[in-house]
Amino acid sequence: MAGAGEGQARAELIDRLTADVLHQLASTPEPRLRSVLLELVRHLHAFVREVQLSQAELMTVVRFLTEVGQACNEARQEFVLLSDTLGVSSLVELVEHGSDDKRVTAPTIVGPFYVPESPWRENGSSMAAPGEPGQRCLLEGRVLSAEASPLPGAVLDIWQTSAAGYYAVQRPEELGSTNLRGRYRAKADGSYQVRTVRPVPYAIPDDGPVGRLLRMSGRHPMRAAHIHLKVTADGHLPLTTHIFDAESDYLETDTVFGVRTSLIRDFTPDGHGGVRCQFDVVLEPRTAYGPGDRSSAP
């Protein structure tokens, strides 16, 4: 009976500790920060109790997160890779920008290699440098509102890897800092055309702590072949999405959980050794949301 009593006493101490932390955090002045911190502590404390986390395991987590921070630099964001490979980035994207309107294009993650201020390019021009290796590809479609109205002047910020599987920001000396990325404006009828190379599957950087975690959990580091897009238009919610090649490997096991079935497209032969891909982008009007909803999205 003494053992049961000791167990009850320890459980009461644990509950009191969690209650004390929550009590102190409850005085956080900023409402959103207060809400997030309170829920974070509730879930973290429940996790520690559920898995019976040991002191040694806690220090392993601390060392791992320290290594993740040390692996970050201007061209590599290891914390984003960690968030991506745990599915957190995809979950946040769906929570914040997912829509119940099946007409609109599905969102997916930004990834760690987006670079703002890509060069402006003429509609129909190539974002691949002259002589860039890879199969020629014409990407075309229209940017539309959910009611199928064209959105002239919509901006498509597009980027992808080289045929060797690297983004320009990873190897600027080899690829050129603005290669395989660019910004395009939709025409009066909402149409756009982009010349590039066919995307290929590639491995996320796996020579750091995130790669070690993938190997320890028996997972590969591969992403399905895709092209990234950020699309914006006046009066509409911004969209971050991908176009996935239907013939790519890893569509079912994309290591960052970014594939959406509705974003998979055929890259069809153009009769000249290249391929074409048709991809319409459908944006959601801001007016679909009232104050306090997603109307405040950037």
So what's the pLDDT on residue 279? 98
Task: Residue 231: name the closest of 194, 281, 273, 168 by CA.
Answer: 281
* DSSP, res 91: H
Which CATH architecture is the domain 78-296 placed in? Sandwich (2.60)
C-alpha to C-alpha distance for 55 and 276, rounded to whole angstroms: 56
C-alpha to C-alpha distance for 146 and 101, rounded to whole angstroms: 8
C-alpha to C-alpha distance for 35 and 27, rounded to whole angstroms: 11
Residue ranges per domain, the chain?
2-53, 78-296
Task: Residue 260: name the closest of 211, 292, 224 by CA.
Answer: 224
Task: Residue 239: name the closest of 297, 167, 165 by CA.
Answer: 297
* DSSP, res 19: H
Answer whether 196's CB lies under 8 Å from 245's CB: no
Which structure tokens are listed for 154?
Answer: 């919509």
Answer whether 166's CB lies under 8 Å from 135's CB: no
So what's the pLDDT on residue 41? 98
- Helical H segments across 98-242, by residue range: 172-175, 209-216
So what's the pLDDT on residue 4? 66
Residue 5 has, within 13 A of its CA and on its CB side, a CA count of: 2
What is the full per-residue pLDDT of the chain (298 aa) written as tens digits? 456 667 788 899 999 999 999 999 999 999 999 999 999 999 999 999 999 999 999 999 999 999 999 999 887 899 999 999 999 999 999 998 888 899 999 999 998 899 999 999 999 999 999 999 999 999 999 999 999 999 999 999 999 999 999 999 999 999 999 999 999 999 999 999 999 999 999 999 999 999 999 999 999 999 999 999 999 999 999 999 999 999 999 999 999 999 999 999 999 999 999 999 999 999 999 875 544 444 344 3
